[in-house]
Chains A and B, each alone.
Chain A
Amino acid sequence: MTFRLRLIIEWIIIALLANGVIIAFLHWDITASFDNLLYDGLSESARPTADDAILIVAIDDASLKEFGKWPWGRDQHAQVINNIKKLEPRSISLDIILSETGEPEADVSLSKALYGDPLSALETQSNEPAIFLPLHFVTPGNDGRAFDTILPAPLFLDPLNHQKNLGHVNLAFDNDGILRKNNICFQASEEAPQWPHLMERIYQNRHNKPSATLQKALKKPLCDAPVLIPFSASGSISTISYSEAANDTMLPDSVRGKDIIIGATAAGLGDNYPTPSSNGSLTPGVEIIANMLGALERDDFVTPLSLWQSALISLLPIWILLLGFLRWQPRLILMASGLIFLALLISSAAFLYFGYWFPPGPALAALLLAYPLWGWRRLQAISYYMGKKLRELESDEDSSPLGLIQKKSIDLVGKQRDTLDQAIDNIRDLRRFVTDTLSGLPDPMFVINMDNEVILSNDILNIRIDSNLVGGDLSNAIDTLVRKEDRPSVWQYIDASDIDSANIIIDQEEIVRMVDNYSSSYARFTSPRGRNFVMRRVPLRNNEGEYRGYIHYLADITALARADSQREEMLQLLSHDMRAPQSAILALLDGKIDEQAKQSIANNSKRTLQLAQDFVEIARMGETPFDGEELLIDSLVEEVIDSLWPLANERGIKIDLSNIDDGTFIIGEADSLSRAFMNLLDNAIKFSPDNSNIAVKIKNMEFGKTTMVSITIEDQGDGIDSDMLPILFEKFTTNRGNEGRAQGTGLGLSFVSAVIERHHGSISADNKRDGGAIFSILIPESIENDE
């Protein structure tokens, strides 16, 4: 199972769980205690002011003290009602059960007090206050009924009103035993009549229409729509004592036009209940219904949202968060969770403000469940994934050529941490290793990506070209590395070895074939600094076989190339320059050996010897470092002239040495310098006509701060072929077409040039205007070092 799939499945489980929690909690009201607490707190902060049109006549402890223990005689009540009626209240409700008949005389007097004398009813009816009485229910009822509806005794029923002044005074308690809500309407079963609340009766009587709350309730089955009562502060409803009414000491203004509710408040009478406003004590039943009347008049009952409404409101933020789980960063999820938590609380308060109650508990519970659960699952998943990858890495034998560092820890988390540490260490080592290997490669190399941009070049390359190619493109690199003449061929190689980037090779054989191909083809070029290189390029591929770029590997073959050219020279020497005189000697030996033949044999032999000598000297010079001593150049040249005197003298050639200065010291290698001048003078003699002069001039020349010795050798021969002049000092340059000038060795002048170069000097050759060659040599003077 992939990491992603696993996470998705776990997400779905968490989502279902969160949804389930919301629905279940709402349905079974599991978070009721929290919600109630919240509700109580919220309603506490927004209590409505008491309706001043309501007056409670309280059967309080003072009244009990005055009139003795309950129940009192009905005539007592009749007296009170009559007293109240005199002061013209708007209505009178008795929160007293009158279901049984009592003393007949007293009952009659109460009935009269309530509804007036039936005989004089017609006269008094118009300004009589409306009377409302409670009915109550007995559970279980007789004959298997759930309820028995107990009406007041017939004597106390309004003869004209057909029970329309009767209403229920049921109380509905929450699970915590606190009374918060009530039903405005009660219906025991489908067939049973619907009884509005006593207070609804008062409302209907006054407004001649059912209240909005009742209308809503009637739409529900069994008119079951409990509403939350907005309690005003405990004891804030105007209250007078029953005894006051009985003694007729009431202020007329406190009664006139008011809705009078007579009910028990004394603690001993048991009609007291806990409500949100009771603050630990109890609220009398009469005050509860008085609050209901106030709420009806203000129409501010709080309607609890239905299960599905609550569910909808609860699920919306949870789903936002659930979706966020998949997309957001952990930090954002935490913030969002906090915000949603707050939003739920605030929305609950806002609903309450507009008269609806939304219990946020289930949603909060789901939130508190989902967030840590998700966090845990995700951590678990990451931990699992990491563990798996680390094990893979560990088991990968090629992961580090340096070997793995092993660490030991006892617990699982420690182990994982160690494995991670180890993996990171190993990767760091590996990276370091690769970088060091690349940059430390003894041959230059650079790497380009598929956009022909140089992304890596190693140390030796950077040092060689004294700059860094990284960041530049391939053509820039080629321009830097390759001299102009060789660039086309290098580009040709690059183009030929380019591969189609779309082409992904999977076949192993194909790879082998390609590698063969890449290692067998190459581009050979010379750098602007004159070094010879072979360049190979190999494509770089990643694990998937896609091409990522090319490695360019440059092998410095300067030494090889030199050896190559020396081998060429050697072959040239052996195949022609050595062989020709030997063949000539053999040919001469075949013929008549006279003096002339002997001379020719000797000449040919000398030529071969000279050639061998030069070759050895050049080779030795290439191998040995410069080993100069201080010597007098004038003496050296003079001794060379002396040693050639017999040769020159034989042909009547005179070598004149003129050294203007007293003598100049240079740092020189006596051997090679002597041989060099020997070669030059030998050539001069060879190409001079008989009885001519050769002039050798030595003088000092100032070049700024340095003094150079100039040595010139001029002959009176035919001069040098103009074609030959530019290549005169290259190896094996012999003007073979021209017999007169061509008999020299192929190595002599290149040897001279090499020697002079070794002495930090320079040599040039030219023809004089009047014919004859002139060789000019400059060698720096040695500065005297007095010790």
Chain B
Amino acid sequence: MRIALADDHQDVLDFMTSILEELEHIVVTFPDGERLSQGLMRDTFDLVILDWNMPKKDGLAVLNWMQEAIKEAPPVIMMTSRTAKNDITAALNAGADDYITKPEDRNVIAARISAMLRRSTTSGSFETKAVYGKYTLDRIDHKVMYDSKEVTLTAKEFELIDLLFRNRDRTMSRDYIMETIWRTNAALTTRTLDMHISRVRSKLNLKPENGFRIFTVFGYGYRLETLN
């Protein structure tokens, strides 16, 4: 796939390019936001990965420009060394589909990019029985098997874990999760979702030793991360 990569640091470009080429993608690099914009005008990409802090035009400005200037804009992953909650939510709310904090582990980056590409290409696919490591989801009977043992879940808990596994390695907003599962978010407090997440986490023992972890993006939403 064609991936546009923009960063003003050559070593970051090299590092990212090596990951992406390992995943057998085509990478086009840009040294700043201005060049990226020009590139996006001329060319079509399946994914844009851009740095926040860039000369001439920063990541946020490019994002805003893309919302207006490009029809059917490709998904965007923002890379940032800013780890504060407000910065991340700002990026996500500006239209980024995900973000990667620097520095990040090679494998994590690869998983996140794959998840993003998978979603953008295979959305709508449906499997009646899916296996994710130690976990097997039966979507017909609404059952989850963990280490070949059935875990008792409520209907909403199953829907939640189904949603999380389907969108693993992708950050979902609270609103998205709540609207998907409860259809409406009117009567819900954030506590309800938090408690559901907490319960699912402990019932399924979603821990790094089992290859998964639930990651809270505070002020935004959740992500189920797969670990190797």
Interface residues of A (CB under 8 A from B): 609, 620, 629-632, 634-636, 638-639, 642-643, 645-646, 649, 662-663, 665, 669-671, 674, 784, 786-787
Stretch at the interface among B113-121, B150-158, B187-195: B187-195
Q: How far is the CA of A634 from the CA of B199 in the complex (A)?
A: 11
A631 touches B194 (CB 8 A): yes
What 1/0 flags go to B176-199 for Cβ under 8 Å of A?
000000000000011100110110
Chain A residues lying within 8 Å of B201, measured Cβ to Cβ, are: 635, 638
Given contacts A645-B208, A670-B85, A671-B85, are A632 and B219 in contact (CB under 8 A)? no
A674 to B218, CA, bound (A): 10
Instruction: Considering the complex, give the chain B residue whose CB is closest to the CB of A644.
Output: B208
Known contacts A631-B216, A635-B216, then 10 further A-B pairs from the complex at CB < 8 Å, ordered by chain A residue: A632-B198, A635-B214, A642-B215, A649-B209, A662-B195, A663-B198, A665-B191, A674-B218, A786-B189, A787-B189
Known contacts A643-B213, A649-B208; is-contact A629 B218 (Cβ 8 Å): yes
Q: Inside 8 A of A665's CB, which chain B residues have their CB? A: 191, 194
How far does the alpha carbon of A620 sit from the alpha carbon of B82 in the complex, in Å? 13
Contact of B218 among A634, A638, A670, A787 (CB under 8 A): A670
- The interface residues of chain B lying within 8 Å CB-to-CB of A786 are 189
Asked whether A645 lies within 8 Å of B207 as measured between CB atoms, the reply is: yes
Instruction: Write the nearest CB–CB distance from A601 to chain B, whole angstroms.
Output: 14
Number of chain B residues close to chain A: CB under 8 A:
21
Report if A670-B219 is in contact (Cβ < 8 Å); known contacts: A632-B195, A639-B213, A642-B213.
yes
How close is B116's CB to chain A, nearest CB, in angstroms?
21
Residue contact A784 to B208, C-beta cutoff 8 Å: no
B residues 86-106 touching A (CB-CB < 8 Å): 103
- Report the bound CA distance from A674 to B194 in whole Å: 16
Q: A642-B213, A643-B213, A671-B85 are in contact. Are A631 and B208 (CB under 8 A)?
A: no
Give me the 7 closest cross-chain CB pairs, A-B, nearest first. A670-B218, A645-B208, A642-B213, A632-B194, A671-B85, A663-B198, A635-B198
Taking a contact as CB atoms under 8 Å apart, the answer to whether B191 and A630 are in contact is yes
Residues of A within 8 A of B198 (CB): 632, 634-635, 663
Map CB proximity to A onto B47-78 as digits: 1 under 8 Å, 0 otherwise. 00000000000000000000000000000000
Asked if B83 is at the interface (CB within 8 A of a chain A CB), the reply is yes
The reply on B140 being an interface residue by CB < 8 A is no
Q: In the complex, what residues of A have CB within 8 A of residue B207's CB? A: 642, 645
Which B residues are CB-close (under 8 A) to A638?
201
Contacts of A609 in B (CB 8 A): 103
Question: Smallest CB–CB gap between A754 and chain B, Å?
Answer: 16
Which among A642, A784, A786 has the greatest number of chain B C-beta atoms within 10 A? Answer: A642
Nearest neighbor of B213 in chain A, beta-carbon distance: A642
Q: Chain B's nearest CB lies how many Å from the CB of A751?
A: 14
- Pick from A631, A645, A669, A784: contact of B209, CB under 8 Å: A645
Q: For B218, what are the chain A residues with a Cβ–Cβ distance below 8 Å?
A: 629, 631, 670-671, 674
- 27 A-B pairs in the complex with CB atoms less than 8 angstroms apart: A609-B103, A629-B218, A629-B219, A630-B190, A630-B191, A632-B191, A632-B195, A635-B198, A635-B201, A635-B214, A636-B216, A639-B215, A642-B207, A642-B215, A643-B213, A645-B208, A645-B209, A645-B213, A646-B208, A663-B194, A663-B195, A665-B194, A670-B219, A671-B85, A674-B218, A784-B191, A787-B189
Q: Is the CB of B194 within 8 A of A635?
A: yes
Per the bound structure, the CA–CA distance linking A424 and B182 in Å amounts to 81
Instruction: Considering the complex, give the chain B residue whose CB is closest to the CB of A648.
Output: B208
Known: A645-B208, A649-B208. A670 touches B216 (CB 8 A): yes
Bound Cα distance from A646 to B195, whole angstroms = 26
**A444 CB to nearest chain B CB (Å):** 38
Instruction: Give the residue name and chain of the B residue nearest to A632 (CB).
Output: B194
In the complex formed, the residue of B with least CB distance to A606 is: B103
Name A's interface SS: helix
Q: Given A631-B194, A671-B83, A671-B84, do A639 and B209 touch, yes or no (CB 8 Å)?
A: no
Q: Nearest-CB distance from B143 to chain A (Å)?
A: 24
Contacts of B197 in A (CB 8 A): 635
Contacts of A787 in B (CB 8 A): 189
Contacts of B219 in A (CB 8 A): 629, 670
Q: How far is the CB of A581 from chain B (nearest CB, A)?
A: 16
Residue of B nearest to A671 (CB): B85
Q: What residues on A are CB-neighbors of B215 within 8 Å?
A: 639, 642
Across-interface contacts of A642 in B (CB, < 8 A): 207-208, 213-215
Q: How far is the CB of A613 from chain B (nearest CB, A)?
A: 8
Q: Once bound together, how far apart are the Cα atoms of A649 and B207, in whole Å?
A: 12
- Supposing A632-B194, A665-B191, A671-B84 touch, asked if A639 and B216 sit within 8 A by C-beta, the answer is yes
CB distance from B181 to the nearest CB of A (A): 18
Alpha-carbon distance A649/B215, docked complex (angstroms):
19
- For the complex, give the distance between the alpha carbons of A524 and B36 in Å: 58
Known: A632-B198, A649-B209, A784-B191. A639 touches B85 (CB 8 A): no
A646 nearest in chain B by CB position: B208
Distance to closest chain A CB from B76 (angstroms): 23
Minimum CB–CB distance from B182 to chain A (whole Å) comes to 17
Residues of A within 8 A of B214 (CB): 635, 639, 642
CB distance from B91 to the nearest CB of A (A): 15
CA distance A631 to B194 in the complex (A): 8
A669 to B218, CA, bound (A): 9
A643 to B191, CA, bound (A): 23
Provide the residues of chain A in CB contact with B103, threshold 8 Å. 609
Q: Look across to chain A and name the residue whose beta carbon is closest to the beta carbon of B215.
A: A639
Distance in angstroms between the alpha carbons of A670 and B216 in the assembled complex: 9
A670 vs B219: C-alpha distance when bound (angstroms) = 9
Nearest Cβ distance between residue A98 and chain B, in whole angstroms? 150
Residue of B whose beta carbon sits closest to that of A642: B213
Bound-state Cα–Cα, A649 to B103, Å: 21
A642–B225 CA distance with the chains assembled, in angstroms: 11
**Shortest distance between the CB of A658 and any CB in chain B (Å):** 11
**Measured CA separation A635–B214 after assembly (Å):** 9
Cβ–Cβ < 8 Å partners of A662 in chain B: 195
CA distance A787 to B194 in the complex (A): 17
Min CB distance B192 to A, Å, is 11
Interface residues of B in 201-223 (CB under 8 A from A): 201, 207-209, 213-216, 218-219
